[in-house]
Amino acid sequence: MEMTQEVFRGIDEYIAYGRKRGDCYRLLAACFYLPKKEVFIQEGLLPTLKGLLLDVCPSCSVYASAMCNALENSSENELALEYARLFVGPFELKAPPYGSLYIDREKRVMGDSTVAVMKLYQEAGLDISEDFRELPDHVAVELEFMYYLIFKEIEALEKSDKETAMRYLKLQYTFKHEFLGKWIALFCKKIKDEAENNFYVSLSDCLSDFVALDAPVRDRLAIY
């Protein structure tokens, strides 16, 4: 399986593709917050994700379809209980959603990799808010950061600022290969091993394949 191999005929096509790619990260991030079934349905989150994946990573769109079906067949209470059991506790977390627990040798939260992630956020122009309640290497935060980097790249290209665009493109590469890409497969395997609801089984497949197949530098540098 591979990402859609685009032959961009111009900067406008590349920008349109980049928006879709970034939105895939943004919507996958939304799936790792406490699920609100009504909100998911009203906003059409999963059908939108499926449509984006058909253009960006067609093999992953099958998992988005399965997530849609699972959402329809699950109550909000069932989803909330499964979410808590996998990612929150109060006792053992079946699939801890923090990168440091998979990357760092000490296997603890707020480890060396968490500090390094925070430095990368700052390098990209972001500050951690004082009232921010989640750890910086939570899966949803890291996926949203990838969306942000893609957004900033595309924003710069729209202004014909290729130097800034290249900077954010290289940050995507660094972030994926030094942080996000190092732990997502292990995290998704834990979800798949422990999940009892097909929504999260399919989400784990979708996320692991999407991150593995996405290439923030390879096949895109030619546009510059």
Assess whether pLDDT exceeds 70 at residue 63.
yes
Domain membership of residue 80 (yes or no) is yes
CATH code, domain with 154: 1.10.3480.10
Domain membership of residue 1 (yes or no) is no
| Domain of residue 95, residue span | 11-223
pLDDT, greater one: 17 or 111 = 17
pLDDT for 129-176, tens place per residue?
A: 777 678 999 999 999 999 999 999 999 999 999 999 999 999 999 999
How confident is the model at residue 219, as a pLDDT?
53
The number of domains in the chain is 1
Assess whether pLDDT exceeds 90 at residue 10.
no
Domain membership of residue 116 (yes or no) is yes
pLDDT for 75-117, tens place per residue?
A: 999 999 999 999 998 778 899 999 999 998 887 788 889 999 9
Question: Full-prediction pTM beyond 0.95?
Answer: no
State how far the alpha carbon of 224 is from the alpha carbons of 84, 129, 165, 166, 216, in Å. Answer: 44, 34, 9, 8, 13
Domain membership of residue 45 (yes or no) is yes
How confident is the model at residue 1, as a pLDDT?
42
Over residues 11-38, the mean pLDDT reads 94
pLDDT for 25-38, tens place per residue?
A: 999 999 999 988 88
Domain membership of residue 4 (yes or no) is no
Give the confidence band of 5 by pLDDT, cuts at 50, 70, 90: low
Name the average pLDDT for the chain: 90
- Are 67 and 206 in contact by the 8 Å Cβ rule? The answer is yes
- Are 179 and 37 in contact by the 8 Å Cβ rule? The answer is no
pLDDT for 179-222, tens place per residue?
A: 999 999 999 999 999 999 999 999 999 999 999 999 755 555 56
Give the confidence band of 223 by pLDDT, cuts at 50, 70, 90: low
Domain membership of residue 87 (yes or no) is yes
Domain membership of residue 88 (yes or no) is yes
- The token duo for 162 is 């290729």
Chain position carrying tokens 């939105």: 23
Domain membership of residue 130 (yes or no) is yes
